[in-house]
Amino acid sequence: MNALQKLFLLRSCSDSYFENRSRPCLLYQIKRCSAPCVGRIGRDDYAELVEDAKAFLAGKSTGKSSRACRGRWPRPPSAGTMRTAAVYRDRLRALTYIQGSQSVHAEWLGDADVFALARKGGTMSIQGFFIRGGQNWGHRAFFPAHTADVRKPTCCRASSSSSSRTCRRPDESWSTASSPTVSCSRRCRSGRGRRVVIEVPRRGDRRKLMDQARRNAEEALDRRLAETTTQGRILRELADTFELADVPKRIEVYDNSHIMGTDATGAMIVAGPEGFRKNSYRKFNIKRPETRPGDDFAMMREVLERRFARLEKEDPDRTSGEWPDLLMIDGGKGQLSAVCEVMEDMGVHDVPVVAVSKGRIAMRGARPFICWARAS
Query: Does 93 map to a domain?
Result: yes
Query: Does 234 map to a domain?
Result: no
Alpha helices by DSSP H, listed for 188-329, are 204-241, 296-314
Query: Does 17 map to a domain?
Result: yes
CB crowding 38-48: b at 16 or more within 10 Å, else e: eeebeeeebee
Helix (H) / strand (E) element for 55: namely helix 43-57
Query: Does 241 map to a domain?
Result: no
Query: Do 92 and 125 belong to one domain?
Result: no
- The structural domain count of the chain equals 3
Q: What is the pLDDT of residues 324-375, one digit of tens each?
A: 999 999 888 888 888 888 888 888 888 899 888 776 666 665 433 333 333 3
Query: Do 368 and 274 belong to one domain?
Result: yes
Orientation angle between helical segments 296-314 and 333-345, nearest 10 degrees = 30
Q: How far is CA 29 from CA 26, 37, 41, 315, 359, in A?
A: 5, 14, 14, 52, 43
Query: Do 305 and 351 belong to one domain?
Result: yes
According to the model, what pLDDT value does residue 225 have?
80
The residue range of the domain holding 181 is 112-222
How much of the chain is helix, strand and coil, in % rounded to 5? Answer: 45, 20, 35
The answer to whether residues 196 and 169 touch, using CB atoms and an 8 Å cutoff, is yes
| Residue 376 three-state SS | coil
Query: Do 135 and 168 belong to one domain?
Result: yes
According to the model, what pLDDT value does residue 193 have?
59
Q: What is the pLDDT of residues 6-34, one digit of tens each?
A: 778 899 999 988 988 899 999 998 888 98
**How long, in residues, is the chain?**
376
Query: Do 39 and 131 belong to one domain?
Result: no
Among 268, 255, 260, 280, which Cα is nearest to 330's? 255
The rounded Cα 364 to chain-centroid distance in angstroms is 34
Query: Do 146 and 257 belong to one domain?
Result: no
Among 151, 127, 141, which Cα is nearest to 211's? 127
Q: What is the pLDDT of residues 116-149, one digit of tens each?
A: 888 887 788 888 888 777 677 777 888 887 666 6
Query: Do 14 and 125 belong to one domain?
Result: no
Query: Do 91 and 150 belong to one domain?
Result: no
Q: Kindly report the CATH number assigned to the domain that includes residue 153.
A: 3.30.420
| Residue 347 three-state SS | coil
Q: What is the pLDDT of residues 40-63, one digit of tens each?
A: 999 998 998 898 888 777 656 555
Query: Do 159 and 197 belong to one domain?
Result: yes
Q: Which residues, in sequence order, are CB contacts of 104 under 8 Å at separation 6+?
A: 129, 131, 136, 139, 209, 212
Query: Do 283 and 195 belong to one domain?
Result: no
Query: Do 159 and 255 belong to one domain?
Result: no
How far, in Å, CA of 42 to CA of 226, rounded? 54
Query: Do 212 and 263 belong to one domain?
Result: no
- Fill in the amino acid letter for 198: I
